[in-house]
Structure 1
Amino acid sequence: MAQLYFRYGTMNSGKSIEVLRVAHNYEEQGKKVLLFTPAVDDREGVGVVASRIGMRKDGIIIDEHLDMVAMAAQERPNCILIDEAQFLTKAQVEQLTEITDTLGIPVITYGLRGDFLGQLFEGSMHLFALADKIEEIKTVCWYCDRKATMNMRCKDGVPVFTGEQIQIGGNESYIPVCRKCYSRQKKTAAAQ
């Protein structure tokens, strides 16, 4: 029975490495994978899934016009993989449930749980509500040895707590932190 998975973690937890690893494993067995990535993620170029350690693979661009259900029905892959799933819309997440439930194709999504203010992204919120399986990909806090649960946005190495929800960036813009260190940094910034 096919299922919809949401595998989430903070920045730097290895989500993109995992997506690329799973795609490789399927393809090495001669199985077909459709790898998708939202158009908004342009860090390595639109349509590119890349990890910070240098692995990369071209993906299918998800935009407001893409009908993933029709593509899956035509292509009949063994698995569908989605990177940066936090950027999906509710309608796109619903397409993934249809692919799983109607076409019987497993869908594995990877993304952030929340933004730099601790708020859920639209895609993450709907994946938490609709996914059959939810799995955390863990990493450690930048400041201590506790599990990182939040993404802290930084500008020139200084934590910031205002701005638009979506600002595409990597290690130069975000660090993984635990809630305690996040709160400490936020209080320090408010006192300045």
Structure 2
Amino acid sequence: MAQLFFEYGTMSSGKTLEILKDAHNYEAQGRKIALLTSGIDNRSGVGTVASRIGLHRNAVPIDHDFDIFAYIKKLNEQEKARGDGAIACVFVDEAQFLERHHVVECAKIVDDLCIPVMTFGLKNDFQNNLFEGTKNLLIFADKIKEIKTICHYCGRKATMNQRIHNGKPVYEGEQVQIGGDESYYPVCRFHYFHPDQTR
């Protein structure tokens, strides 16, 4: 039975590595997939899913007006008409940047087309507020899984994202600031509030 999956983690938890691995596994079995990502994240170019360890591949960028359901429905019909088989799974990276209508469209893909949708993204921003996409995935997803990593400071489990500027934590600013290891640390709750202390 098709389901809507949401896998979340902090920065540097390997979310993109996971999506690339899962997509590869489907394709290695001869199954067709669709790979999409937010058009907001342009670190490696718009429409690129790129892991920090150097793996990357092209994806369809999602912007405000993009209708995920309509795109997948048309793509699925085209693949079947060519005799290539139906789309076996839809993968969406940077899912925290989805808007509510995008998440509803993902749910509709599952419910109306019977195609599983696997989404990957952050849960909370650097001020520990939910992103719009995350909030709605927590509401609509059938299965939710945490991808774990360790705190930048102490090695305990990281649950928060600490924004960094010139080596110092930043606690105010716009919710979205695209960046990687130079801009964000995965941290535990203690070190989010006490980055200069040891425990």
TM-score (norm 1): 0.95
Aligned to 2:33: 33
Q: Over residues 61-101 of structure 1, what are the superposed CA-to-partner deviations in whole Å (9 max), with x where a residue is unaligned?
A: 10122221122112221000000000000110000000011
> Structure 2 matches for 1:1-192, cutoff 5 A?
1-76=1-76, 77-185=87-195
Q: Matches of 2:63 and 2:184 in 1, distance apart? A: 25
Counterpart Cα distance in 2 of 1:70 and 1:180: 44
Amino acid at match of 2:10: T
Name the CA distance, whole Å, in 1 between partners of 2:132 and 2:175: 11
C-alpha displacement of 1:106: 0.2
Identity of aligned residues (%): 53
Q: Deviations over 1:83-125 (max 9, x none)?
A: 0000000110000000011110000000000000000000000
Q: Distance in 1 between matches of 2:126 and 2:68?
A: 29
- Judged with a 3 Å threshold, the aligned counterparts in structure 2 of structure 1 residues 58 and 148 are, in CA distance, closer, same or farther, namely same
TM superposition outliers: structure 1 runs of 4+ over 6 Å? none
Unpaired runs of at least 5, structure 2: 77-86
Aligned partner letter, 1:80: V
The separation in 2 between residues aligned to 1:78 and 1:156, in whole angstroms, is 45
User: Whole-Å Cα distance in 2 between the matches of residues 149 and 13 of structure 1?
Assistant: 10
**TM-score for both structures, normalised by structure 2:** 0.92
How far does the alpha carbon of each residue in 1:140-165 deviate from its partner, in whole angstroms, 9 at most, with x for none? 00011210000000011111111100
CA RMSD of aligned residues (A): 1.2
Q: Indicate the SS of the match to 1:25.
A: helix
Alignment check: 8 A CA contact 2:153 2:195 kept = no
Equivalent residues, number: 187
Alpha-carbon separation, structure 2, partners of 1:145 and 1:37: 30
What is the distance in 1 between the residues matched to 2:118 and 2:195?
A: 34
